[in-house]
Amino acid sequence: MTPDWYPAIRECCTYWQDAPMLQQTFDALERSFSTDNDACIDSAKCIVEVVCQIIVDELDSPALQIRPKEETPSFGAWVSAAVRALKLGDTRNAAFQKLISQHHKLTTTLGDLRNDAGPVSHGRDGFIARLSAYHRRAAVLSADAIVAFLHQAYVETELNLVRTREPYERFETQNELIDKWCNYANVEFDDDGSLSLTIESPNEEGDVVISASPSQLLFQLDRPAYIEALNAARTAEAIEGKFEEPTA
């Protein structure tokens, strides 16, 4: 069996490539699926659940409070919370509502299949026969359909720019608009060596003054350069300490 069975999961995991748990679960899916191991059922179900948690954490707010209240939310609770977070049920279109309902049934069935047949999360009778390739494909295809549905809806959602954890590149349209109408001005250095600059906006009252030390600027804009500067600074610090005259 090939990765062509789960293109939406692959795309989603590439999108959130900085999410360690999602990547670890995806690695488990790839290994188990490629070796015809029934554990791919557990991994497929877990990927859906992790994706739902990412979406809920990103879109939840004190005003919405869509995160499940249970101490250990069920699989269905996470998927339902993600659907609410994406506002997929906020429509009067009967056909779309039916589509939502069918995805909910698909979620329930995938959870049931994992509970009945997944070998990783629960101990089984050691002599139970393995499932067929068709069962494994059905589980992975189901998970892929759910992930495709949720992730594409998420990509099209307008995020809260104040609290989002999405990278700068996610907001290409907004970035281009700001760069078109805003400019640097009055670049200076403060007494402590920090860079101070003004960003002019079309509205003068919207001008922003930003101050940043070299470490702050590097940490926020270029993490590899920050590490390189840190290593150079440590070397300079060690050399300075080596040649520092001892006190009497």
Residue 106's pLDDT band (boundaries 50, 70, 90)?
low
DSSP string, 173-239: HHHHHHHHH-EEEEEEE-TTS-EEEEEE-SSGGG-EEEEE-HHHHHHHH-HHHHHHHHHHHHHHHHH
Cite the DSSP H helix spans in 118-170.
133-155
Kindly report the length of the chain: 248
Nearest-10 crossing angle of helices 7-15, 20-34: 150
The amino acid occupying position 230 is L
- Sheet with strand 195-200: strands edge to edge: 183-189, 195-200, 208-212
Task: Tell me what pLDDT residue 247 has.
Answer: 58
- SS3 (DSSP) at 116: helix
Global pTM reads 0.66
Task: Tell me what pLDDT residue 124 has.
Answer: 46
In the block, tokens 């109408």 appear at: 181
Mean pLDDT for all residues in the chain = 80
Q: Which has more confidence, 110 or 46? A: 46
Q: What residues does each domain of the chain span? A: 3-122+131-155, 184-242
Share of the chain above pLDDT 70, in %: 78
Q: What is the mean pLDDT of residues 79-95?
A: 74
Is 186:198 a contact under the CB 8 Å cutoff? yes
Instruction: Round to whole Å and give the CA distance between 209 and 219.
Output: 19
Residue 127's pLDDT band (boundaries 50, 70, 90)?
very low
Q: What is the mean pLDDT of residues 44-64?
A: 87
